[in-house]
Amino acid sequence: MITLERLTKRFGARTAVDDLSAEITAGSVTGFLGPNGAGKSTTMRMILGLDRPTSGRALIGGRPYQELRYPLREVGALLDAKALHPGRRARTHLRALARSHGIPAARVDDVLEMVGLGGVERQRAGTFSLGMSQRLGIAAALIGDPGILLFDEPVNGLDPDGVLWIRTLIRSLAAEGRTVFVSSHLMSEMELMADQLVVIGRGRLIAHAPVAEVIAASSQAAVVVRGPDHERITGLGRHLAAAGARVESEEEGRLLVSGAPIEDVGLAAHRLGVPLFELSSRRASLEQAYMELTADSAQFTAS
């Protein structure tokens, strides 16, 4: 588990992370979302002890990163795929990491095959494409078989096969009971990959909830109601609005109802004796929900 307790980081007069509290639990993939400059990378750096919090703390399994005796055995991370010496060969890089933590050399072969770099293990990292570097970074994160993993934009540079591979890998790691914390700007991938979301803007927490709950709260999510009797459909709309739902009349005999589950809408129609041609759910996308959540938090917007 990763625990953030009122985590705050200031750089001079600028507050990058502002009183952020959250628990990232084991057994699920938690997506970490926010606009550019929201504080995501700074938060991950504080979790890994690379930046010192101004106040608050970040804990890994109940302890600060600095107190872990063999960090790679407990937490693996990929923050920057190119953050290694370009002259190092892939195998040499992983062997050095393994030796520093008392990890058997055989584990190097395991992770090279796991990430698909077995055929280029003696190639120098400086010759790797971004996608290959991402795979090597993931191999380094997995070298100690840790229970906690942090990935910052892990699909950057990957081709479609690679994107599918990393999505499958991340979900399988969570299914094994590990804590997986993933930052990304690719909403379509996050919708497929994540179970939970932590959304921040301007350093502050905006939402911490299951993906389905975040999407369901979007104004774009709605129940479509259509029937032959325009007057009765209008009456149903007034009834639902009085109960707290948001109701829009798209055309004669057709409503869009937000803020009420489809079951409640169907029961209301039944009780009022309103005949229906259609009662269906219109699902929002994570991108639509995210844009609504962060509409007031974007720091960099084009004219």
Residue type at 45? R
Please tell me the predicted confidence (pLDDT) of residue 297: 77
Task: Report the CATH superfamily, name and number, of domain 2-210.
Answer: P-loop containing nucleotide triphosphate hydrolases (3.40.50.300)
Cβ atoms of 155 and 186 within 8 Å: the answer is yes
Question: Residue 183: its pLDDT value, please?
Answer: 95
Residue in the block written with tokens 């993906």: 211
How many CB atoms sit inside 10 A of residue 102's CB? 10
CATH no. of 222-282 = 3.30.70.100
* Nearest alpha-carbon partner for 187 in 215, 220, 148, 150: 215
For residues 303 and 300, give the distance between their C-alpha atoms in angstroms, rounded to a whole number: 10
- Name residues whose C-beta falls within 8 Å of residue 94's C-beta, 6 or more positions apart in sequence: 108, 111, 112, 136, 139, 140, 143
Domain boundaries along the sequence of the chain: 2-210, 222-282
10-residue averages of pLDDT along the chain (303 residues)? 95 94 96 93 95 96 92 94 88 94 94 91 89 92 96 89 93 96 93 96 94 86 93 94 90 88 94 96 90 81 62
pLDDT of amino acid 169:
94
Q: Which residues pair with 162 in a beta bridge?
A: none
